[in-house]
């Protein structure tokens, strides 16, 4: 970039006025450009033609890391303005990061900047020596979903100076991309504006004027030579075909000839022995169309000995265009080595491969990077990376199954350039369906699955998730969460199946849905994925106020329990998962304090729990994957973080943007003897074993044969059933539910018609968001499809006269993890708008209130005014399932997976507590379309006999039916008059049912009946 003195001939006000009229039409030359250059094209004059606005409209807007970081902007009149009368000026005092953006309107096409050499603007220098970052936005759907390309200039001057930046000076941002990258090529044909990031650390001011495109694009900037891949695997003896193409921005023919000299040189293969050397030149003549291509062929030679993969770089020297960013490599596939023999047992394949690997290669297998951090992917081979992941919202563009498969196949191709061609294992947080993928089938969150009490259905939801995930090329799912949630103030409550370890264990059939057979023999199938039991151990028991992570209050805090409670409550689900053959385990961010004098110790450092309990005592033979940057929370320097976590038993480290540092540090720690070869070999062997079981060595690329079923009717039927069975009917005075199609129904509330709210966090993005974020059916739409006579008024502002019944759908907006902790900007109260809607509708007619939320909401003060109350949890994309129970297509059968409190002061409150006086007890759930048994205590005595006999005979189905009848009988008597005396035995009975103590369960229900 260069700085030019201010133009001596100032543009006139007439020219500025013309700019406002013609918009992006070329302006008359100011005399500074060569005759052949096109006229400058204005981007911003700052005379008021571009408003202060944000997407989707065109406009200027500010942003920052904290509330006080966005700068203050104004269009200020300046007599010394380089152009026109006004400039963009502002003050800033930024501690984190901050700046401003000009985005073009998202509802119009992007702009074509490809005819120009670069972008320039006037800057009022303060001579402070600080760098200011300047970005342009290329491709994608809009300015906030586009690639960012960046450069910077230094403020080392005073007064106005014109800053010129050729487009060739911009580099692709590798630290942050809002969509994780599109094609990582600065195309210039679909531009969405620019952004300025201001200096941090001290107050400052700035002024800017006249942003415009200038100059004529050099062909070397406009034309580029590319190859159709960076890596060309070929079997020994085969011929690799390297397709070399010339392309131009805007797809115009090239003006001047482009020559490409090629030569096979360097690499690990031996010329004349492993391949026939090639050398030559390709010429694309002037006038050649963009996309014209030629093929360079590299023959390889067969020598019939087993070998690792060998590389043959094809060096390209380009004249007249931009050369490829990378030298393409032909790779002669590894062959003839035992680990490649699919007929051998996994243990033998692992042992053979492990014996051949270097320390650096082993460290690479233990390293997992975020896809957004690796750019074009060259680091996959450079660092022998073993794994990549997509964090929440880290998706390809477009976010389609085809784009996912293409993206992951591209990464797998990169892994083929490594010595042993060890495939990547790619992971995602598919915690309720393939929730990062737009259009996927989104299931209820785990809290709703727990409410179904249906293990077979849980398994089916896992199977649908696995099929949709694997069809996009992803073989690994960071699910299920086996936390036992003990405090609903926790922002991750909805990730749990419930507060009772027995309930969590019963829902672990989802592991078989994901993985198939416990032996792992199904993992290679195209509809199975490797599952992850998380978060080991005790993450659901962290105490309120114990978190040390930012403003979190519960999440990532301290679980202080006795060893007995740890075993009984938090560890038991992991024993079940290991018994079910779960392939990976993820430790928790949280700390564990067992009262043994050690105090709180982060789980990623607890060798006694990971090595001692999980691997040695429980017998887990899969591998342990860390949570996102979790080792950074350990005490000491980074080397201490690495050796502590690895020595504690963590086998693979999720270090999204720190993969280089982790790998290098692990190698250093191993060379110094602070991490043993034995520990590293154990970790790598565990990782390789799962890759072999998944069939990745034989089939590293995506099998998309199941992609057509993603979001299919068959898959949505499963999600619809799960949504229906998850609905818990807490109150139903006067049998308001089910509704009749003949009734006129008034629907209101913030969550009646919002797919984003009903799917919750971990949907499309990490935190989720309100609005129409993915295809699905809202509850309102489901009611209309069910044939109901429905009128909708979100805020209940429409007249309530003339209706038979009201349905008010209220609750929470999306959040994830500690961002959702109560006390971190959240509480368990309905919003003022939701309360007003409930009050208005329920005062005017009989009403049913549905609470769409990840945890119980405090409704006790309005319970008397509500005829029917439903805990809808977060039902996912299939609002039809909710409508099914509302209109009686299905019966309400759901039961509370957690205790519903009367007040926040009661928390934590859980089944088994000595003091237990909830609004509704754990296990509560009324039913419809079912005849509730009568007969009182006489019926209970008869049911007790049936349960006892069935228990002795091992007839579980008969026994469970008897307990269910007893529960319904008790609930009918208690109604809404739940007391501590009836609640405690009622909740205890559900725990006894889940643990197979059926006779005792009926006895507890009898106790509750007598107290009710």
Query: Active-site residue numbers?
Result: 627, 817
> What 3-state class would DSSP assign to 485?
coil
Q: Residue 236: how many CA atoms within 13 Å on its side-chain side?
A: 17
> What 3-state class would DSSP assign to 61?
strand
CA distance 488 to 495: 11
Of 105, 333, 160, give the one whose Cα is nearest residue 236.
333
CA distance 600 to 590: 9
H/E run at residue 757: helix 755-759
Residue that the structure tokens 């032909």 belong to: 330
CA distance 142 to 469: 27
User: What torsion, rounded to 10 degrees, do the Cα atoms 8, 13, 17, 20 define?
Assistant: 50
Strands 204-214 and 118-126: antiparallel
Q: Which residues contact 398 (CB under 8 A, 6 or more apart)?
A: none
CA distance 207 to 205: 7
CA distance 560 to 566: 9
Bridge partners of 102, per DSSP, are 60, 194
CA distance 603 to 813: 30
CA distance 589 to 630: 6
H/E run at residue 355: helix 346-356
CA distance 892 to 816: 28
Tally DSSP H helices, then E strands, for the chain.
25, 38
Residue that the structure tokens 């026939």 belong to: 276
In the chain the first and final C-alpha atoms are separated, in Å, by 81
Of 968, 920, 912, give the one whose Cα is nearest residue 940.
968
* Structure tokens that stand for 254 in this block: 């090239």
Residue that the structure tokens 């191709």 belong to: 413
Asked if 1 and 163 touch (Cβ cutoff 8 Å), the reply is: yes
Residue 913 burial (CB < 10 Å; 0-12/13-18/19+)? middle
Bridge partners of 74, per DSSP, are 89
DSSP 800-869: -TT-SEEEEEEEPPP--GGGG-BTTTB-SBPPHHHHHHHHHHHHHSEEEEEEESSS--B-GGGGGG-SEE
Residue 118 burial (CB < 10 Å; 0-12/13-18/19+)? buried
Asked if 624 and 651 touch (Cβ cutoff 8 Å), the reply is: yes
CA distance 883 to 868: 15
Q: Residue 462: how many CA atoms within 13 Å on its side-chain side?
A: 31
H/E run at residue 837: helix 832-844
Which DSSP symbol is given to 111? B
Bridge partners of 91, per DSSP, are 72, 205
DSSP 673-731: TSS-HHHHHHHHHHHHHHHHHTTTTT--S--GGGGGGTT-HHHHHHHHHHHHHH-EEEE
What φ, ψ does residue 43 adopt, rounded to 5°? -110, -50
H/E run at residue 225: strand 223-227
């Amino acid at each position: 970039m260069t700085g030019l003195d201010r133009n001596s001939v100032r543009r006139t006000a007439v020219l500025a006025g013309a700019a406002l009229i013609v918009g992006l039409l070329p302006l008359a030359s100011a005399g500074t450009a060569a005759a052949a250059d096109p006229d400058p094209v204005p981007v911003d004059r700052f005379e008021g033609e571009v408003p202060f606005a944000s997407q989707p409209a065109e406009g200027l807007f500010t942003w920052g890391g904290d509330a006080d970081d966005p700068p203050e902007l104004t269009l200020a009149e300046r007599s010394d303005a380089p152009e026109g009368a006004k400039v963009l000026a502002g003050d800033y005092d930024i501690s984190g990061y901050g700046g401003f953006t000009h985005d073009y309107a998202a509802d119009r096409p992007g702009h074509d900047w490809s005819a120009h050499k670069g972008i320039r603007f006037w800057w009022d220098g303060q001579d402070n020596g600080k760098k200011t970052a300047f970005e342009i936005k290329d491709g994608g759907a809009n300015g906030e979903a586009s690639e960012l390309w960046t450069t910077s200039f230094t403020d080392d001057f005073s007064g106005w100076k014109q800053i010129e930046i050729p487009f060739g000076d911009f580099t692709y941002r590798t630290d942050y991309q809002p969509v994780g990258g599109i094609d990582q090529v600065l195309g210039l044909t679909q531009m969405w504006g620019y952004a300025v990031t201001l200096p941090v650390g001290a107050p400052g001011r700035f002024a800017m004027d006249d942003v415009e495109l200038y100059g004529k694009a050099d062909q070397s900037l406009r034309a580029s030579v590319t190859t159709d891949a960076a890596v060309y695997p070929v079997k020994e003896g085969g011929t690799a075909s390297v397709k070399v193409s010339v392309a131009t921005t805007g797809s115009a023919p090239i003006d001047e000839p482009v020559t490409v000299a090629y030569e096979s040189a360097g690499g690990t293969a031996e010329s004349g022995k492993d391949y026939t050397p090639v050398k030559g030149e390709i010429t694309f003549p002037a006038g050649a169309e963009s996309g014209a291509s030629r093929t360079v062929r590299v023959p390889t030679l067969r020598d019939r000995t087993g070998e690792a993969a060998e590389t043959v770089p094809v060096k390209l020297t380009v004249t007249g265009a931009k050369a490829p960013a990378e030298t393409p490599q032909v790779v002669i596939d590894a062959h003839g080595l035992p680990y490649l023999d699919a007929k051998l047992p996994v243990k033998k394949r692992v042992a053979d491969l492990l014996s051949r690997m270097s320390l650096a290669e082993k460290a690479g297998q233990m390293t997992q990077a975020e896809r957004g951090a690796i750019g074009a992917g060259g680091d996959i081979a450079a660092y022998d990376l073993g794994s990549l992941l997509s964090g929440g919202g880290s998706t390809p563009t477009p976010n389609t199954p085809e784009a996912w498969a293409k993206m992951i196949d591209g990464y797998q191709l990169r892994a083929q350039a490594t010595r042993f061609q060890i495939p990547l294992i790619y992971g995602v947080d598919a915690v309720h369906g393939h929730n990062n993928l737009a259009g996927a089938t989104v299931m209820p969150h785990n809290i709703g699955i727990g409410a179904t009490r249906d293990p077979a259905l849980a398994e089916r939801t896992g199977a649908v998730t696995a099929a949709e995930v694997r069809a996009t090329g992803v073989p690994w799912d960071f699910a299920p969460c086996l936390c036992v949630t003990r405090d609903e103030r926790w922002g991750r409550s909805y990730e749990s199946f419930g507060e009772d370890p027995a309930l969590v264990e019963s829902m672990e059939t989802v592991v078989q849905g994901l993985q198939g057979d416990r032996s792992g023999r199904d993992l290679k199938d195209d509809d199975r994925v490797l599952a992850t039991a998380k978060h080991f151990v005790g993450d659901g028991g962290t105490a309120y106020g114990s978190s040390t992570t930012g403003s979190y209050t519960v999440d990532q805090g301290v679980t202080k329990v006795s060893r007995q409670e740890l075993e009984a409550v938090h560890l038991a689900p992991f024993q079940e998962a290991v018994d079910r053959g779960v392939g990976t385990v993820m430790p928790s961010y949280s700390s564990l304090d067992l009262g043994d004098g050690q105090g709180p110790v982060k789980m990623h450092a607890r060798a006694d729990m990971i090595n001692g309990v999980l691997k040695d005592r429980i017998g887990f033979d899969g591998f342990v994957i860390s949570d996102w940057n979790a080792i950074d929370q350990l005490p000491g320097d980074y080397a201490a973080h690495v050796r502590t976590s690895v020595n504690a038993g963590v086998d693979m480290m999720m270090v999204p943007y720190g993969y280089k540092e982790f790998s290098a540090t692990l190698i250093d720690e191993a060379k110094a003897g602070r991490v043993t070869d034995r520990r590293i070999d154990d970790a790598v062997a565990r990782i390789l074993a799962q890759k072999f079981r998944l069939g990745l060595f034989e089939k590293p690329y995506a099998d998309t044969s199941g992609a057509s079923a993603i979001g299919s009717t068959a898959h949505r039927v499963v999600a619809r059933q799960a949504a229906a069975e998850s609905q818990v009917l807490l109150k139903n005075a006067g049998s308001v539910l089910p509704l009749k199609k003949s009734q006129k129904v008034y629907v209101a509330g913030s969550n009646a018609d919002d797919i984003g709210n009903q799917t919750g966090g971990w949907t499309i993005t990490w935190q989720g968001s309100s609005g129409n974020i993915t295809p699905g059916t809202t509850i309102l739409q489901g009611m209309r499809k069910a044939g109901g006579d429905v009128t909708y008024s979100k805020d209940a502002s429409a007249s309530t006269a003339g209706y038979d019944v009201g349905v008010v759908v209220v609750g929470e907006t999306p959040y994830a993890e500690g961002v959702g902790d109560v006390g971190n900007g959240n509480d368990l109260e309905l919003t003022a708008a939701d309360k007003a809607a409930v009050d208005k509708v329920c005062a005017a007619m009989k009403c049913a209130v549905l609470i769409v939320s990840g945890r119980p909401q405090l409704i006790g003060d309005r319970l008397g005014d509500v005829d029917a109350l439903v805990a809808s949890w977060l039902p996912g994309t299939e609002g039809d399932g909710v409508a099914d129970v509302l209109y009686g297509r299905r019966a309400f059968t759901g039961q509370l997976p957690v205790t519903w409190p009367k007040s926040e002061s009661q928390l934590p409150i859980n089944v088994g507590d000595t003091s237990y006086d909830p609004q509704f007890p754990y296990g509560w759930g009324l039913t419809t379309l079912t005849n509730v048994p009568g007969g009182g205590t006489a019926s209970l005595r008869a049911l007790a006999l049936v349960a006892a006999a069935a228990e002795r005979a091992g007839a579980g189905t008969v026994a469970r039916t008897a307990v269910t009848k007893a529960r319904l009988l008790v609930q009918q008597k208690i109604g809404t008059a739940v007391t501590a005396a009836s609640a405690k035995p009622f909740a205890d009975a559900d725990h006894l049912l889940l643990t197979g103590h059926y006779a005792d369960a009926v006895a507890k229900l009898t106790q509750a009946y007598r107290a009710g």
